[in-house]
Amino acid sequence: MDMFNAIIQVLDSTIRLSVPLLLACLAGLYSERAGIFDIGLEGKMLVGAFAGAAAASVFHSAYIGLGMAILISVAFALVHGFASITHRGNQIVSGVAINFIAAGSTIMLGQAWFQQGGRTPALAPGERFGAIIWPGADAVRGVPILGPIYSELISGHSVLVYVAFLAVPFTWWVLFRTRFGLRMRAVGENPAAVDTAGISVAWLRYRALICTGVLTGIAGAYLSMVQNGGFVKDMTAGKGYIALAALIFAKWKPVNAMFACLLFGFLDALSIRLQGTPLPLIGKVPVQLMQALPYILTVILLAGFIGKAIPPRAGGVPYVKER
Q: Which residues bind another protein (CB under 8 A)?
A: 176-183, 185-186, 189-190, 192-199, 313, 321, 323
CB-wise, 60 or 177, nearer to another protein?
A: 177
Residue 116 or 190: the one with the smaller Cβ distance to another protein is: 190
- Residue closer to another protein (CB basis): 125 or 307: 307
**Least Å distance between CB 189 and another protein?**
5
Q: Closest CB to another protein among 48 and 191? A: 191
Sign of CA dihedral 53, 51, 291, 265: positive
CA distance 99 to 47: 9
Q: Is 187 helix (H, G, I), strand (E, B) or coil?
A: helix
Q: Name residue 176's amino acid.
A: F
Cα 28–34–40 angle (5° rounding)? 35
- For 3, 24, 89, 150, 156, the CA distances from 143, given in Å and listed in that order, are 16, 36, 58, 10, 17
Q: Note whether 38 and 105 are within 8 A (CB).
A: no
CB closer to another protein out of 112 and 197? 197
For residue 182, the minimal CB distance to another protein (Å) is 6
Could you say which DSSP state residue 120 is in?
P
Q: For another protein, which is the closer residue by CB, 204 or 260?
A: 204
Q: What is the dihedral of CA 50, 15, 250, 217, to 10 degrees?
A: -20
Q: Read off the DSSP letter of residue 4.
A: H
Q: Give least dist CB 115 to another protein, A.
A: 49
CB of 179 to another protein, least distance (A): 4
Give least dist CB 257 to another protein, A: 18
Separation between Cα atoms, residue 260 and residue 91, nearest integer Å = 24
Cα Rg, the chain, nearest whole Å? 20
What's at 136, amino acid-wise? G
Could you tell me which of 81, 108, 107 has the C-alpha nearest to residue 95?
81
Look up residue 302 and give its DSSP letter.
I
175 vs 214, beta carbon nearer another protein: 175
**Torsion, CA 21, CA 26, CA 28, CA 34, rounded to 10:** 170
